[in-house]
Structure 1
Amino acid sequence: MSLKLSLRFYKDMIEKGFVPDNFTLPFVLKACAQAQALREGEGIYVYAIKSGFVFDVYVGNTLMRLYVVCGVIEAVRKVFDGNFHRDLVSWTTLIQGYASMGFSREAIGVFLDMGSDDNLRVDEMTMVIVISTCAKLGDLDLCRKIHEYIFDNFVKVDVYVGNALVDMYVKCGDVDFAFKLFQEMPEKNVVSWNSMILGLAQKGDFKETLSVFRRMQRENVKPDDVTLVGVLNSCANLGVLELGEWIHAYIDRNRIKADGFIGNALVDMYAKYGNIDKAFGAFENMKRRDVYSYTGMIAGHIGLVEEGCRYFEDMSRLYNLQPQIEHYGCMVDLLGRAGLINEAEKFIKSMPIEPDAFVWGALLGACRLHGKVKLAESIMKRLVEIEPDKEGAFVLMSNIYSSANLWRDDAMKVRKSIKERNMKKTPGCSTIELDGVVHEFRKGEKSHPQATEIYKMLYQITNHVRGTTEARKYAR
């Protein structure tokens, strides 16, 4: 029933001498809440105070709900504190009110206060709200306390509570435990799979992300938009073109709109593969574009300077989208890779925002490509000021010196600085896709099950190359 109709019946009822009671008022207040009609709802509230029905638990709960949807948290708390007859709905509504308005700590505080009432038994719905609120805080210790409460109070862990727990541990940084919970869940839905896929991708474990997706397919769970974005991002980072193209075909086959996150993920994936035509095709097919769409196209047009610059300018000129630090970094990378080092420097000086490590790092990378040692040294000083504990700039500077045959003095000094600062270089890692399976290799690692055969083949290839080189030398 519409608000207008509800209020008309309510008004007719009073005019004909009938007195609204604690059954009538909740229905009218519910209609006000659905329409977010705060002024009309407060008129009902005045009547409830005069008639004494404001102390009725059902009237109070519906009134609290009205204030929650209208975003008036002070009024929610006032009604709650003024009502001595509270039930689980009263507490849950207050918790949800604080949580929905961004007061996560206060929401958890109310939940902990609620635990002191021995007459209340928390249900799954309340628990999901509390777990989701805890996830927003990112507090792992609090996360574990909430999980402990569930076990201690025998709260039923259905699929919704399970999903919320997995999501909470992912967002609080313990992806491994989230995966353990996910494995143990007796019932899963698409949200369960999405939580794990996005969690693993966020951790950077892209190989495991794709493994979970393949398992999802085997169990005949239909992926949704969230699934596809997580998998496309993992394909982009691993360079798994075959699966990425299969996902794109799946999107087209099922007539899924490739806008927003999905469109951006497609653009980013093809740009990282270096397939600019397909990246541009995905970009052109997007009905709605945002800053991330343009980031993908700018980054993808490395070597196509004019087009990249045009996309950068179009962001603000045509679409009123203000470039962020990532876009400036992409432009520096674009100019630097093309050998336009002076232009890249001028671009940085003209930036309306302070350049960060990403921007300077892009220019340092260009210095390595084009042998600009002196400029690299000045950039290095800036990077050390911004990120004194990161080893990336030191390693890159060492490589620049080595490429310029300055290994003995300058490169060794940089290597010594790395040791003195107790920095550890992240081992090099590469991946290759073969028959739909991704194989990962790290520098110096021999844990691959076919390591013996692989090194044997590399030895044969190396000898063959050496033999061919020697033969050509003598042929001259």
Structure 2
Amino acid sequence: MLGKCKQPEKAHSLFHMMIDEGCAVNTEAYTALLSAYGRSGIFDKAFSLLEEMKNTPSCRPDVFTYSILIKSCLQVYKFDEVQALLTDMASEGIKPNTITYNTLIDAYGKAKRFAEMESTLVQMLRQRECKPDVWTMNSALRAFGGSGQIGLMEKCYEKFQSSGIDPNIKTFNILLDSYGKTGNYEKMSAVMEYMQKYHFKWTLVTYNIIIDAFGRVGDLKQTEFLFRLMQSERIKPNCITLCSLVRAYGQAGKAEKIGGVLRFIENSDVTLDTVFFNCLVDAYGIMGCFTEMKGVLEMMERKGCKPDKVTYRTMIKAYSLGGMSSHAKEIQNVLASLEKIS
């Protein structure tokens, strides 16, 4: 828990308190402490603990120890260290498990290192005791779909299905998102129909993906229908949902509809963030509603949300395109003072 809260030094104190109290320190305790340092990016101490474990017969590292450290390294793109850890595992006679492989496949996919992702998948398939699962499939689909390689994503999906791996709701959300972002609306609709036919209940993520997709192509009728549908299903919209609506209305020049979104927010308990307000600033800027755009800053202050560099840059762009150079210069000065502070 202390590791997850990014308090590795407190975790270290507790570890030594265990020893002082006469508790037996085992591999699990060492792994938990190593994880605490890894999560906080303190890799010198994490690797030092790994060496300490290797030299302590009763606390030798296992596949979970290595998998946790590999995951921490992958999160900050330390790919060289990951290869060193995999080599070290092999020398210790420890084989990666499904979690190790899934962690690697997911990270390589997100980093668009497709050759390494496919190579890892091949290695995984060679291990008899290490079978791919739905997490493996979802990581591979996300990698190909997220980079617009729809053909490869579909082939990958077919191969996993033919090997007996059934999709889950996350699988369909990945397919919907990939099709939506590449403009494959017929295929997106086919996935939606399949989900309804086989009773896959839509989640907040599903609704957000579909609302965003229809909003981007200006299909306000379908966007609004889906927004009403999610509420009838008792699924609470979040900031992502509201950003999609605001973006769609801004592109369509429907300022009054954005007003409707703001009224909805006033009567809800949705917690707004800077990303939402930046989206609102952009939408008003696109429509040339400069008074409303400036009013967003006051709204942010009331909600206890600070503007960031994106807020001011979006305003500068809008004022510049609208020929309001004096206003743009005024905001540029505010941005310059903010950059000096940071």
TM-score calculated relative to the size of structure 1:
0.51
Output aligned runs, 1:61-76, within 5 Å. Answer: 61-68=102-109, 71-76=112-117
Instruction: Please give the per-residue CA displacement for 1:32-77, whole angstroms capped at 9, x wherever unaligned.
Output: 22342222211232355563724x3223223334534654221211
- 1:12 aligned to 2:52? yes
For the 8 Å contact 2:67–2:100, the answer to whether it is kept is yes
The whole-number CA distance in structure 2 between the counterparts of 1:61 and 1:237 is 42
For the 8 Å contact 1:21–1:53, the answer to whether it is kept is no
- 1:182 aligned to 2:230? no
Q: 1:269 to 1:37 in 2, by over 3 A?
A: closer
- 1:111 aligned to 2:157? yes
- The corresponding residue for 2:100 is 59
The whole-number CA distance in structure 2 between the counterparts of 1:138 and 1:220 is 33
Shift of 1:151: 2.0
For the 8 Å contact 2:251–2:286, the answer to whether it is kept is no
For the 8 Å contact 1:95–1:107, the answer to whether it is kept is yes
Aligned pair count reads 288
- The corresponding residue for 2:248 is 199
Residue 237 of structure 2 aligns to a residue in which SS?
A: coil
- The corresponding residue for 2:186 is 141
Which is bigger in relative contact order (C-alpha 8 A, separation at least 6)?
Answer: 2
Shift of 1:244: 4.1
Shift of 1:184: 1.0
User: What is the root-mean-square deviation of aligned Cα atoms in Å?
Assistant: 3.6
Residue 83 of structure 1 aligns to a residue in which SS?
A: helix
Shift of 1:24: 3.2
- The corresponding residue for 2:177 is 132
Instruction: Please give the per-residue CA displacement for 1:407-461, whole angstroms capped at 9, x wherever unaligned.
Output: xxxxxxxxxxxxxxxxxxxxxxxxxxxxxxxxxxxxxxxxxxxxxxxxxxxxxxx
Shift of 1:188: 0.9
The whole-number CA distance in structure 2 between the counterparts of 1:169 and 1:288 is 39
Q: 1:149 to 1:59 in 2, by over 3 A?
A: same
- The corresponding residue for 1:24 is 65
Output aligned runs, 1:131-170, within 5 Å. Answer: 131-170=176-215
Instruction: Please give the per-residue CA displacement for 1:269-312, whole angstroms capped at 9, x wherever unaligned.
Output: 667887665444333322389xxxxxxxxxxxxxxxxxxxxxxx
For the 8 Å contact 1:263–1:282, the answer to whether it is kept is yes
- The corresponding residue for 2:132 is 86
The whole-number CA distance in structure 1 between the counterparts of 2:160 and 2:189 is 18
The whole-number CA distance in structure 2 between the counterparts of 1:269 and 1:72 is 37
For the 8 Å contact 2:144–2:153, the answer to whether it is kept is yes
Q: 1:5 to 1:76 in 2, by over 3 A?
A: same
Q: 1:81 to 1:239 in 2, by over 3 A?
A: closer
Q: 1:24 to 1:207 in 2, by over 3 A?
A: same
* Residue type of the alignment partner of 1:166: I
For the 8 Å contact 1:235–1:241, the answer to whether it is kept is yes
Shift of 1:243: 3.9
* Residue type of the alignment partner of 2:225: K
Output aligned runs, 1:251-400, within 5 Å. Answer: 251-253=300-302, 256-267=305-316, 277-287=326-336
Shift of 1:122: 0.9
Shift of 1:198: 0.5
The whole-number CA distance in structure 1 between the counterparts of 2:162 and 2:335 is 53
For the 8 Å contact 2:62–2:94, the answer to whether it is kept is no
Query: Which runs of 5 or more structure 2 residues have no equivalent in the other structure?
Result: 1-36, 126-130
Higher-Rg structure is 1
* Residue type of the alignment partner of 2:48: R
More divergent stretch after superposition (132-141 vs 40-49)? 40-49
- The corresponding residue for 1:39 is 80
Shift of 1:225: 3.3
TM-score calculated relative to the size of structure 2:
0.68
Output aligned runs, 1:454-469, within 5 Å. Answer: none
The whole-number CA distance in structure 2 between the counterparts of 1:239 and 1:72 is 42
Q: 1:280 to 1:60 in 2, by over 3 A?
A: closer
Residue 63 of structure 2 aligns to a residue in which SS?
A: coil
Shift of 1:28: 2.9
The whole-number CA distance in structure 2 between the counterparts of 1:71 and 1:232 is 32
* Residue type of the alignment partner of 2:336: K
Shift of 1:227: 3.5
Shift of 1:264: 4.1
- The corresponding residue for 1:249 is 298
Q: 1:272 to 1:118 in 2, by over 3 A?
A: same
The whole-number CA distance in structure 1 between the counterparts of 2:318 and 2:117 is 47
The whole-number CA distance in structure 1 between the counterparts of 2:224 and 2:85 is 49
The whole-number CA distance in structure 2 between the counterparts of 1:235 and 1:101 is 30
The whole-number CA distance in structure 1 between the counterparts of 2:151 and 2:262 is 35
Query: Which runs of 5 or more structure 1 residues have no equivalent in the other structure?
Result: 290-476
Shift of 1:78: 1.6
- The corresponding residue for 2:262 is 213
The whole-number CA distance in structure 2 between the counterparts of 1:208 and 1:168 is 18
For the 8 Å contact 1:232–1:244, the answer to whether it is kept is yes
The whole-number CA distance in structure 1 between the counterparts of 2:110 and 2:44 is 18
